[in-house]
Structure 1
Amino acid sequence: MSTLASLLAGNREHTKRVAGSFGHLQEGQQPDAVTVCCSDSRVLQADAFGTDQPGEVFTVGNIGNRVVQVHDGATVVSGDVLYPLVHTDTKTAVVLGHTGCGAVTATYDALAGDVSEPPGIEHCIDLLAPRLEAGVERLPHDLDRAAAIDRLVEYNVDAQISALSDSPHVSEDVTLAGCVYDFQDRYGGDRGEVHVINVDGERNSETIRETHPEIASRVNRYWDY
């Protein structure tokens, strides 16, 4: 079976599952959350949160789980992230990074001057690099490459949360959550588990647990800097 035929067969199963789910969505949407996830094929964005029904989550995917774009020479929050926050009354934004992120790795290499990519990919790296540069400078000097990338994954999530928080177009009543999806056993939980590392700019795990006891067991930072 060709790849396309396989995808379409999967869609047939999808239609059976969601056939009765669109009635209240014909005229619009009001998703509970917008998730900004790396488009890495190993991270199933909506499924990672157990959402399998339309209308629940507004999903944004790109390499490096970026929330920013360049407009008229200025770096601004991307329209695909802003849309649900501005137009559908969505009050939760989740930035979901992941262990072993190739975009973070490529940016790490680019900051060291050791990368050559097609223009489209280079543009994505250029959006990540200014936010990761300070993180690279903070890395302990005795880390191996994998450990450095894992720390920068968290640093990148923090940086994207900061970009949302600093934007005048993101309402102050929107909850901003930074998370990491772990399929490489870095955090000690189950493979595929989502770990909360940042809420509304707060990075201290104990403070987050005290402020949000309902998610205390899922708060787990890899790097305190």
Structure 2
Amino acid sequence: MHETFTRLLAGNDAHADEFRSKFDDLQDAQFPDAVTVCCADSRVLQDRMWGNDDPGHLFTCGNIGNRVVQEVGGEQVVSGDVLYPVEHTGTETVVVVGHTGCGAVTATYADLTDGIDEPAGIRRCLDLLAPHVGPGVEALPDDLSDAEAVNYLVEYNVDRQVAFLCDSDEVPDSVTIYGVVYDFQDVYSERRGEVQVINVDGERDPETLREEHPGFADRVRRLWTY
């Protein structure tokens, strides 16, 4: 019955041995270089996708649909999970990470087009996503397969989450906001696990992004320009 958890603890043994000295300078404070907002999905390894094995480098947030929003008093505001490192640790880089085949986007798409029945907690998450994904559903090109439509909407959702941060008075102008898609389904290329840059501070035109950011021009790819 407890085999899975026992395996997790065995893995933690190795982790504790390896990381014994890596917390020496981090026990009393953290100053992460970036905050990443990833979809909560077992296939999306939030630190490892960046090759990161160092504590204190990334402030990782995860939820279904890589949302930067939460609702307070009937109003959508920047989630405290995202805002905390910006407000309190001096972090000036935010990365919104969508991924191919996203289940949350798939469910939101299905709910907006056909309606689906979900438990209250999942329903709440879909209700937070729907206002951001809905306009994209209306704008989708004709004759897409469901899988293609979902991956177009993955980009659209990332764009909308980036736009929400850019438009918020709570996020200082000094913060740079990147929108990316993590691809493990050979949608953008055959290099599984590669991150594709689709948005920087609200700019989503690929040619403009390549011109403005030559350092990662080869990683700028979009499925959908609308």
Q: Which TM-score tier does this pair reach, normalised by the shorter chain?
A: over 0.9
Residue matched to 2:161:
160
Residue equivalent to 1:173: 174
How many residues align? The count is 225
Once residues 77 and 153 of structure 2 are traced to their aligned partners in structure 1, the CA distance between those partners, rounded to angstroms, is 22
1-structure distance, mates of 2:71, 2:36: 20
Whether 2:125 is the aligned partner of 1:124: answer yes
TM-score w.r.t. the length of structure 2 is: 0.98
- In the TM superposition, what are the counterparts of 1:1-225 in structure 2 within 5 Å? 2-225=3-226
Mapped to 2, the partners of 1:18 and 1:205 lie a distance apart of 40
Tell me, which stretches of 5 or more residues in structure 2 are unaligned?
Answer: none
Q: Distance in 1 between matches of 2:190 and 2:164?
A: 29
Query: Residue deviations 1:105-152, cap 9 Å, x none?
Result: 000011113210000000000000001111001101211101100100
Measure, in 2, the Cα distance between the counterparts of 1:209 and 1:20.
40
Q: 1:216 is matched by which residue type in structure 2?
A: A
Q: What SS class does the counterpart of residue 25 from structure 2 fall into?
A: helix
Q: Distance in 1 between matches of 2:31 and 2:190?
A: 32
Q: For residue 176 of structure 1, report the CA deviation from its aligned partner.
A: 0.3
Shift of 1:13: 1.1
Structure 1 residue 189 displacement after superposition: 4.1
CA-to-partner distance for each residue in 1:3-39, whole Å, 9 max, x for gaps? 1011111111111221111111121000000000001
Distance across 1 between alignment mates of 2:164 and 2:54: 29
- In the aligned structure 1, how far is the partner of 2:17 from the partner of 2:193? 26
Q: Distance in 1 between matches of 2:127 and 2:74?
A: 13
Task: Tell me the amino acid that sits aligned with residue 46 of structure 2.
Answer: Q
* Residue 183 of structure 1, CA deviation: 0.6
Unpaired segments ≥5 residues, structure 1: none
- Aligned-pair RMSD on alpha carbons? 0.9
- Tell me which stretches of 4 or more aligned residues in structure 1 moved more than 3 Å: none
